Amino acid sequence: MTKLSVNINKIATIRNARGGNMPDVKLAAINCQKFGVHGITVHPRPDERHITYQDVYDISPIITTEFNIEGYPSKEFIDLVCKVKPNQVTLVPDPPDAITSNAGWDTVKHKDFLCEVIAEFKEFGIRTSVFVDTNLKNIDGAAKIRTDRIELYTEPYAANFAINKEIAVAPFTEAAKHALKLGLQINAGHDLNLENLKYFVKNVPDVFEVSIGHALISDALYFGLDNTIKLYLRELR
């Protein structure tokens, strides 16, 4: 079964709109795990507009499943990850002003930089995942920088799913098969939801983990967090 990691950034976005500690992101992480998720994901950004660096420190001790910290590998981010030592760090090429992740790494152009960053994380025993698109050259590059996993950027799949799901998923199927041949494990994320999730994991081989935040937290406003998590887990079985 593909594992479900819930990105709780949107919980922090709501909290930060008013200040204070409502809703409580630490309690959200506790409840997500209680309701059956396999991991918690956070994505702190330099302006701390949702998850803050302090949130990451506060959440870390209560993680009983897996902890995935994703973000752009600035010095501050690298220092945070090396102090917290999560199970996994996912590297994304977001500029500081990005609203959300909108592209994968050019692993050829940024080979030396990524090699250096990944080597540092490996010294601390942290599993690494690199956010990439379906361009096979970037997957080849990911293997060369010695990351453990790639995370397939699935926004193009989600955007085209309603138009033609077979065409939408085809590049991801090919990319996953190519990655597996190179010895890479596969994660996926961005705009996966209750409508398109099952078809994706059915047609893309050996997806180890999906990271879902925006859609899942939005669904929880209507269905409740416990029920929503059960709905997503059902799609993955």
Are the beta carbons of 191 and 158 closer than 8 angstroms? yes
Is 214 tagged catalytic? no
Count the alpha carbons within 13 Å of 228 in the hemisphere toward its beta carbon. 19
Is 235 tagged catalytic? no
What whole-number distance in Å separates Cα of residue 134 and Cα of residue 178?
A: 10
Q: Which two tokens stand for residue 8?
A: 């709780």
Active-site position among 38, 43, 50, 66: 43
Active-site position among 70, 151, 209, 235: 70
**Alpha carbon distance, N-terminus to C-terminus of the chain:** 6
Are the beta carbons of 117 and 73 closer than 8 angstroms? yes
Give one DSSP letter per residue of 39-58, joined into a string.
Answer: EEEE---TT-SSS-HHHHHH
Active-site position among 50, 190, 209, 235: 190
Is 190 tagged catalytic? yes
What whole-number distance in Å separates Cα of residue 139 and Cα of residue 182?
A: 9
Extract the runs of DSSP E, i.e. beta strands, from 135-219: 149-153, 185-189, 207-212
Cα-based torsion angle of the residue sequence 65, 198, 179, 162 in order, rounded to the nearest 10 degrees: -130
Q: What is the DSSP letter of 191?
A: S
Catalytic residues, which ones?
Answer: 43, 70, 190
